[in-house]
Structure 1
């Protein structure tokens, strides 16, 4: 079954938005040393699922269902981002544990001792006063709603 143009756009957004957000997360991590905390990882998992669901929608019927599920995964990541941003801004209590990136190779004890400690309640980077978690919330929420609205359009 061929998708309506608006559903095809929804499919592209369902694949492109999480891919770009994950690409930005990995660029910030490996290119700029902004290591993820535990809640940062939580935001990535639904984006991985969204990519898988969007790819599934290219080959398995009912395509609109897989696109809608990808949109829901994107919205879940946005909700986690909203919670994380609230923790960063001190609006509510979050995790008390800190996390460190997993480093492979060499002496494991040395890797642990030299690994940066990343707190979930501290903003590592912001733009216009909005943290990375806040940007994930904004972008994911708008994209998820847009995808669902595009899927609701009826063929002409």
Structure 2
């Protein structure tokens, strides 16, 4: 049975990637902020974290799944930090631009040719000077570290 701190860490590992992925898809489909290649790189570890979180609710060893989920969230945050650095011109990226298509019923070639060019080195949206990749870095690293800290805290003797 998990202690209160481990249960809290398990919820962090489930809720944080779910909310961040939900926000990413809302910005993509609701507001037209299509992801670049590095944006997709940030999503994959969050998908993995959700899988680890599900395992933490279903199968032993629960603490291992929570820790792996927390590490996956941190990996996404670190990718976001790298991506933010590319957007702010702190360093050069290692990827080209990506195109995103939409299913409109036309030919695949027409969709590819009309798809918006999404640059990895340009932030499509910022709030207070911080891009979405920057917010992913901040939130993911903080949440992942918090979950790991909760897992490693010693239980207080009663």
TM-score, shorter chain, exceeding 0.5: yes
Give the aligned partner of residue 70 of structure 1.
Answer: 69
What's the offset of the Cα at 1:101?
Answer: 1.2
Residues 1:85 and 2:84 are matched in the alignment? yes
Q: How many residues align?
A: 155
Give the aligned partner of residue 153 of structure 2.
Answer: 153
The correspondence of residues 28-107 of structure 1 with structure 2, limited to 5 A, is 28-104=27-103, 105-107=105-107
CA contact (8 A) 1:79 1:137 kept: yes
CA contact (8 A) 1:95 1:120 kept: no
CA distance in 1, matches of 2:8, 2:99: 38
SS in 1 for 2:59: coil
CA contact (8 A) 2:37 2:95 kept: no
CA distance in 1, matches of 2:83, 2:22: 19
CA contact (8 A) 2:93 2:121 kept: yes
What's the offset of the Cα at 1:110?
Answer: 1.2
Taking structure 2 as the reference length, the TM-score comes to: 0.95
Unaligned runs of 5+ in 1: none
RMSD: 1.0
Question: Can you list the C-alpha shifts for 1:99-131, whole angstroms capped at 9, x where unaligned?
Answer: 111333421111111100000000100011000
Give the aligned partner of residue 114 of structure 2.
Answer: 114
Question: Can you list the C-alpha shifts for 1:2-47, whole angstroms capped at 9, x where unaligned?
Answer: 1101100000000000000000000000000000000000000000
Gap change, CA 1:96 and 1:14, over 3 Å in 2: closer
CA distance in 1, matches of 2:38, 2:88: 14
Which shifted more, 9-18 or 94-103?
94-103
Gap change, CA 1:96 and 1:65, over 3 Å in 2: closer
What's the offset of the Cα at 1:67?
Answer: 0.1
SS in 2 for 1:58: helix
